[in-house]
Structure 1
């Protein structure tokens, strides 16, 4: 392969101590190209294209430029129908070589040094249609004289087998020196030609504990092996602020705002703005009227929308439902909005954001006797007007709901789950839950999460009415059916639920009701927390909360990837409140080595289909970008944008870019956190507003 490099390559010296193989661009099929070996002259290497069939013709495409080619400027979109949709050429393609069964092995030319070569694999199927892998920027250079080497092997401690694709990082504490490698199929890795000094060497693989040790690099080679241990890290809780003199222990709501601050409120007259970075709480002016038990969301203009609930003059009656709506603006002032069309009001209304930014409100108790309604209406923030729409099959209040990836709204709690079609305004029943008795007509026992793969999952189970029921159930929108999921070893209901950027779901606290258990509890409320992996159904216990908190707590994800909670310490109106603390949980992924950092976003107000770029530090290989909608939480419902979208990333050096989806239902307008991911390790997020 590389015998012709000398005649084709114009060398440009670069002062680096070691070679590298860096993925960039995107693939248009199921195959990924990987490099195993050492990127130094005279070293053996193997290139492997994954997921190829015996009947596929696989070709390695080699080029010495990634900006232009004989076909035109790079990257170059390849035409249909010869190529699959979305195929892009990233290399100048001077050489084409066969890859037998998707594998090519050779030795890097020993006489050549300090150069880049750009690689892709083409996979042609039996029908003649081709796809392309992502590209690899292979930088080949000899180790600098007098520097040191670190080599080793990674193995699973449970089996002794090699652990491949382990992220190995070698770095100084100030990150002035940072190197990254992946273990190969044999578990081997190497850092060659590293400047002498004291470093930290880290080993990270999803679902396995992070390990880090100090190493001293010198001219004497080091061998550092890692035996991977099953993940046991539980994260940790800390007190980061206070809502004092307020105690949020009844009709609480929390909204993550577009500037990263959190709006806490329970009656619209005693609001709190909390800065999670400084830990400082400030207290904005009151609104014109007191209302609690409302629902809300964050509008495109950055205002906090609140609607329904009850008149605060008699908060314990639950009978004085109101139709009021208002918003807390970004300048710290309040604006009254037109009343809802339901004259008897909506206490505990359900709320779901539609793809175009309008808000669907439904159900709720009505004045004067708290009778629930099955009616629905829509608020348009652009015109600040209300309109009626179809009624549900059952009356309910604070029903968990999400916007599905197909644009329909799924609502669970009630006599039957239902979906709402915004194009027709009609509600229709889905198939039944596998555990149908979900506390109705009391309060919902569960929360709902829209998953990245398009399914939805409910979490929580009433063990009195459904002692054998699962704590998770999955909804398949393609068939409108439900299937039972798994449960942790301690079932409970009405816990705190937060979708995390690594794809796991945090489930905190909850009510064990009358179960006999060794778990400490207060009137059935536990401090127990678990992580749930929807893809595998695995639950894992993590650090307990610092306080007993019941469903009046408000809990959400921050841009720094921590989870915060406050309120809910008046347990079942029988004890407390015990604290006004705001607590933060630092998940295990925040202690898994060097995290990427994003800066210099090309825009923070992209439209759908926009390519958004940012700088990453240190220059680590980003595996995906994750968009997560900002939350608005109260009780067991979330009026924010129910999205976690995992998007492929294009990376060239320290710049990463991602192209946003064009599908309006998949990517609703509104506010998102954009995380750069290295496997399960998130950066701090950049907050962006997606416009139509």
Structure 2
């Protein structure tokens, strides 16, 4: 099916298409400079919208787009001997896939893989933009081309959506494996939409959800420990939350990001939200109730527009590439640098540098692999001509980052250029599916439109003897359907004695270099015969509820084929109230964010002041701080306050089946309210079984 109109869906545009569509003698890509996000406000104004309207491919039928693209591609090939979109150089080590991996043949697809979500059955939901329409001007955008692709046999089924255009939307998995999509493209003026939709992965059908308060175009969506989805960016300043019941509430206390470019976001181990890009500064946000900013810090000195990120360990995220800076003495190039954000301690992440890629990239994808390493594919190495697509400065060689060493290794080169509107996602068999590219002004003038996918098999899938043969893989012969937070479960594997890693990998939600779903969660385990006893993720912040790929990796570095398992929501209290038998809840007075604020009781009201999380390290946390016994004074009548988490016995609590909560360091004392009224003090007192010492969670 043809799209009768193409949209560019970015905040960066090239004017070159306006000339290129006039005939095959049009100029090369990038004859007009792109809009520079490094000086762009986070609140796009009328001038920005005018530029969007001027540069968008309004009213251009796809048959004209495809003809123009093909004509330009043929012209460029005649002039240069090079077909646009084809990689010209292959890595010298290609003959040995055990060293540099191996790329598959290119496979045509009926939909451009601009938006890619891996489903719990191993299939992939893919969509792009509007389809055929008789009206040249497209006054409405009421259709989305979509398909479900099956990597097992490379077949597809169309699942087009009627009613709206999901181009420019944000999306993420829900706890049940369905895909929540928020926002999109409303009209020819590139206005956002207030709509949400849910794609059911089992029935392969769409359902419209509740509307947001703000119309969004380029938002990000991230799932939290309690199963809620946070929606930020895309135009409106006020963040919103898609609740587990489908209702949507505003977060009026977070209005720091409204840019129409996807923000970098992740759920943190402390169950708060981390927002850390592409701009500086970043924020730590409690998303319960009406929200609170608990920490603010710069990531680094670079604005990393169209960079990429990957959470490769508990609370640790690699941020790599992006931006347009002067580096190594050359102006207008994306950075090749990378940094690691560690959000395991404190309200602001610590930032350290790691190894740099061999070349700067932008419009690339950083994809977590089955063993916790990170693969970077695609991108462009210069922004001098155009920041979306530049085939003369394409980067087709893959690079692999090793968290253990912080170093990068160059691997094989892809057959096709993957730049603007391309995606990459890990599959349950350990391969990476890459695809897409095109549908923009600069793309058209360059003859760049990639309706296809190709697969990359990393070196870990091959023997290391130079034979090029596939390696023998460990096998998970039995695994549970559900994994709990902090609870033990068993796996069976004939190769149990040789297993070196067990890990969960979140299902991908990829677009515009951003993957809000992926994360690698290493799991602790022990071995007895063919059985591995594994401990689930430490918190729901580390692994929000939902479907994950469960991999084992042997001592030779070869991963299994994944088992798809569902991580359950963590036990309460998880961003939820701790309630005593008189109906009052533990509360932070006035939602104070300061240490040494004494706890109190208050009428349960479902606000952030009562959103406590019980961690597997026996701490009880709110706002990223811990319920604490001041100076470890374990005496009858000692008041309890919140304090920075420090790993001491003053912050460890037992939650007993009799409803009492006791300090681990003195279990003769119980957490208690001094009265059944509001603002009653919270203390530790001698356990008596009194009602004010009994709690439910």
- Would the aligned equivalents of 1:285 and 1:332 in 2 still touch at CA under 8 Å? no
2:319 paired with 1:458 = yes
Residue 534 to residue 566, structure 1, CA distance change in 2 (3 Å): same
Q: Give the secondary structure class of the aligned counterpart of 1:233.
A: helix
Match of 2:297 in 1: 431
Cα separation, 1, equivalents of 2:279 and 2:484: 37
Report whether the alignment pairs 1:353 with 2:210: no
Which residue does the alignment assign to 1:333? 205
Q: TM-score, normalised by structure 2?
A: 0.59
> 2-side partners of 1:599 and 1:292: how far apart?
41
Matched residue of 1:448: which SS? strand
Please point out which of 453, 465, 475 is paired with 1:597: 475
Deviations 1:584-618 (A, max 9, x none): 000000013321111232x2123324433233245
* Residues 127, 145 of structure 2: 8 Å contact kept: yes
Partner of 1:540: 409
Instruction: Tell me the equivalent position of 1:675.
Output: 551
> Which among 118, 138, 144 is matched to residue 256 of structure 1?
118
Residues 399 and 410, structure 2, Cα contact 8 Å, conserved in 1: yes
Greater mean deviation of Cα atoms: 681-690 or 665-674: 665-674
Does residue 393 of structure 1 match 2:269?
no
- Residue ranges of structure 1 left out of the alignment (5+ in a row): 1-208, 213-230, 366-372, 439-443
Match 1:446 to one of 307, 328, 331 = 307
Q: Distance in 1 between matches of 2:532 and 2:351?
A: 38
Structure 2 contact 147–159 (Cα < 8 Å) conserved: yes
**1:486 lines up with 2:355 in the alignment:** yes
Pair 1:394–1:247, CA change in 2 (3 A) = closer
Of residues 146, 166, 175, the one that matches 1:271 is 146
Distance 1:582 1:509 in 2: 13
Instruction: Work out whether residues 496 and 551 of structure 1, in 8 Å CA contact, stay in contact via their aligned partners in 2.
Output: no
Q: Specify the SS of the correspondent of 1:291.
A: coil
Inter-CA distance 242–610: structure 2 relative to 1 (3 Å threshold)? farther
Aligned residue in 2 for 1:410: 274
**Could you report, residue by residue, the CA deviation over 1:271-324 in whole angstroms, capped at 9, with x for unpaired residues?**
11111111111112533333311011122233221111212x53xx42x21110
Q: CA deviation at 1:466?
A: 5.4
Residues 434, 483 of structure 1: 8 Å contact kept: no
The offset of 1:619, in angstroms, is: 6.0
Distance in 1 (CA, whole Å) between partners of 2:280 and 2:536 is 38
CA RMSD, Structure 1 to Structure 2 (Å):
2.7
Q: CA deviation at 1:505?
A: 0.7
* Higher mean C-alpha displacement, 658-667 vs 268-277: 658-667
With 356-365 and 463-472 compared, the bigger mean Cα shift is at 463-472
Distance 2:327 2:221 in 1: 27
2:563 aligned residue:
686
**Cα distance in structure 2, aligned partners of 1:288 and 1:514:** 37
- In the TM superposition, 1:131-170 aligns within 5 A as none
Show the 5 A alignment for 1:235-634: 235-239=101-105, 241-244=107-110, 246-248=111-113, 252-267=114-129, 269-311=144-186, 313-314=187-188, 317-318=189-190, 320-329=191-200, 330-342=202-214, 345-365=215-235, 373-380=236-243, 382-389=244-251, 390-396=253-259, 397-411=261-275, 412-423=277-288, 425-427=291-293, 430-438=296-304, 444-464=305-325, 471-477=337-343, 478=345, 480=348, 481-513=350-382, 522-569=391-438, 572-573=442-443, 574-592=445-463, 593-601=471-479, 603-617=480-494, 621-634=498-511
Secondary structure of the residue aligned to 1:589 is helix
In structure 2, C-alpha distance between the alignment counterparts of 1:625 and 1:504, rounded to whole Å? 13
1:665 to 523, 535, 541: 541
Counterpart-to-counterpart distance in 1, 2:106 and 2:380:
25
CA distance in 2, matches of 1:467, 1:361: 37
Q: TM-score, normalised by structure 1?
A: 0.59
Cα distance in 2, alignment partners of residues 304 and 437 from structure 1: 30
Deviation at 1:627, TM superposition (A): 0.7
Greater relative contact order (CA < 8 Å, ≥ 6 in sequence): 2
Structure with bigger strand share is 1
Shift of 1:349: 0.6
* Paired residues of 1:435 and 1:470 also in contact (CA < 8 A): no
Task: Sort the Cα spacing of 1:527 and 1:414 in 2 relative to 1 into closer, same or farther, 3 A.
Answer: same
Cα distance change on mapping 1:600 and 1:484 into 2, 3 Å:
closer
Distance 1:465 1:402, change over 3 A: farther
What SS is found at the alignment partner of 2:198? strand
Query: Given that residues 416 and 430 in structure 1 are in contact (C-alpha distance below 8 angstroms), is that contact kept between their aligned partners in structure 2?
Result: yes
| Cα distance change of structure 1 residues 662 and 535 upon mapping to structure 2, 3 Å threshold | closer
By how many angstroms is 1:232 displaced? 7.3
Alignment of 1:88-167 (within 5 A): none
Query: 8 Å contact 2:363–2:379 — kept in the other structure?
Result: yes
Shift in alpha-carbon separation, 1:240–1:595, aligned structure 2, 3 A: farther
Moved more, 285-294 or 348-357: 285-294
* 1:233 match: 99
Are the counterparts in 2 of residues 606 and 689 from structure 1 also a CA contact under 8 Å?
yes
Unaligned ranges ≥5, structure 2: 1-92, 130-142, 330-334, 464-470, 570-697
Residue in structure 1 matched with residue 529 of structure 2 by the alignment:
653
Q: Is the 8 A contact 1:470 1:485 kept in 2?
A: no
User: Greater share of helix residues, 1 or 2?
Assistant: 2
Task: Identify if the C-alpha distance between structure 1 residues 240 and 656 changes in structure 2 by more than 3 Å, giving closer, same or farther.
Answer: farther
Change (3 A) 1:512 1:669: same
Is the 8 Å Cα contact of residues 393 and 427 (structure 1) preserved in structure 2?
A: no
Question: 1:507: how far off?
Answer: 0.7
Structure 1 residues 433 and 609 mapped into 2: Cα distance closer, same or farther (>3 Å)?
A: closer
In structure 2, distance between residues paired with 1:636 and 1:398: 9
